[in-house]
């Protein structure tokens, strides 16, 4: 025999709403993790591509002697050294330096086609506004003052690969040195 005062138990409307709110919060957290994870994977992929481009540029520079560098990047023509100035690349200023960029292959002339080749390499990687820059800075550790291009026994070469990623400018920097052992 059943009692009429016995009520069947179930979930109230408030309990259901609280459970749905908790579930919604957890799902939103998980979805945001997927979104940011995807964004970080894309950013890492772009960085890996930039390092590959920079490595290729460094490999090209490795085989060049200092004389080859002077000819290939028009650092001196007819015995006259290219003018040194303060150049700014990727927000960094480099005093007493020369700038060569993959987007500029005519003035100064790209004698051996390195800049054009690097420009094509950047384009192949589908970088947004991709650019390879060389900052060549003469250095003479024997003097306190800045050296001129002609008498410097050392060229410090900084390779900068830049690109746009979403709303910001990204870059990687690699360095090498060319030494004239006769000076």
Per-residue DSSP letter, 171: E
Q: Is the dihedral of CA 107, 174, 131, 96 positive or negative?
A: negative
162 touches 131 (CB < 8 A) = yes
Within 58-103, strands assigned E span: 76-77, 80-81, 85-89, 92-101
Return the number of other C-beta atoms located less than 10 Å from residue 160's C-beta: 23
Taking only the tens of pLDDT, the chain with its 183 residues reads 555 555 667 788 898 999 999 999 999 999 888 888 888 888 889 999 999 999 999 999 998 888 888 888 888 766 677 888 899 998 899 998 999 999 876 677 788 889 999 999 998 888 888 999 999 998 877 665 556 676 778 889 999 999 998 888 999 999 998 887 665
Nearest to 47 by CA among 125, 155, 139: 125
Which pLDDT value is given to residue 182? 64
Q: What are the sequence ranges of the domains in the chain? A: 32-179
Buried b (16+ CB within 10 A) or exposed e, 4-39: eeeeeeeeeeeeeeeeeeeeeeeeeeeeeeeeeeee
pTM of the entire structure? 0.77
Which pLDDT value is given to residue 34? 85
The Cα–Cα gap between 99 and 74 comes to: 11
């Amino acid at each position: 025999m059943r009692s009429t005062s016995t009520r069947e138990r179930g979930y109230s409307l408030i309990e259901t709403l609280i459970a749905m709110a908790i579930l919604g919060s957890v799902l939103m957290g998980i979805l945001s993790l997927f979104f940011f994870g995807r964004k970080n994977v894309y950013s890492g992929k772009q960085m890996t591509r930039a390092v590959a481009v920079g490595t290729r540029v460094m490999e090209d520079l490795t085989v060049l002697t200092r004389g080859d560098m002077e000819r290939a990047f028009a650092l001196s023509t007819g015995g006259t050294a290219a003018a040194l100035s303060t150049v700014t690349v990727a927000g960094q200023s480099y005093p007493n330096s020369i700038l060569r960029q993959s987007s500029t292959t005519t003035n100064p002339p790209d004698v051996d086609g390195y800049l054009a080749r690097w420009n094509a390499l950047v384009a192949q990687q589908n970088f947004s506004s991709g650019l390879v820059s060389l900052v060549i800075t003469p250095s003479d550790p024997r003097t306190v003052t800045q050296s001129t291009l002609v008498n410097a026994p050392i060229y410090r070469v900084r390779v900068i690969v830049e690109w746009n990623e979403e709303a910001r400018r990204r870059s990687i920097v690699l360095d090498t040195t060319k030494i004239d052992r006769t000076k």
